[in-house]
Amino acid sequence: MCTGTATDIGAPSTFTTTPKYFSANGVFIVRDAGGLYAVSSKCTHQGVTLTAQSTKFHCSAHGADFSLTGAVLDGPTSTALKHYTLCLLSNGNVGLQTTTVASTVRLNV
């Protein structure tokens, strides 16, 4: 359950292994075998919005690539993408919070 302020981003069933972009929050929500996680949509090189490709996030400005878990694959940056807290709201939907968490943290729903 969520503690503190969280933004309702929808029902858990709407999230798949294909990253879902939330422009208002600047994040992608992704599902893997461990559950759901939120990863920043901003390149750590110069803050350009990333695009989701089938197996990675790509920065069109300078060619940086990140894995779907946010790890640097190549490019001018050496800093991984930030991960943010996800929680379950009382209505059963997923909540997004602004606190950062380790890249291994998942919401198991």
> Given this model, what pLDDT does residue 107 score?
97
Residues 55-80, mean pLDDT to the nearest whole number: 95
Is 107 part of any domain?
Answer: no
Residue 16 in tokens = 């798949």
Is 16 part of any domain?
Answer: yes
> Given this model, what pLDDT does residue 30 score?
96
**What are the pLDDT digits (tens) for 17-50?**
899 999 999 999 999 999 999 999 999 999 999 9
Angle at 105 between CA 41 and CA 69, to 5 degrees: 40
> Given this model, what pLDDT does residue 75 score?
87
Q: Please state, for a pLDDT cut of 70, what percent of the chain lies above it.
A: 100
Is 106 part of any domain?
Answer: no
> Given this model, what pLDDT does residue 49 score?
97
> Given this model, what pLDDT does residue 20 score?
97
Please provide the DSSP assignment of 55-95 as one string. Answer: SEEE-TTT--EEETTS-EEESS---PPPEEEEEE-TTS-EE
What is the Cα–Cα distance from 45 to 71, expressed in whole angstroms?
13
The tally of domains found in the chain comes to: 1
List the CATH number of the domain containing 63: 2.102.10.10
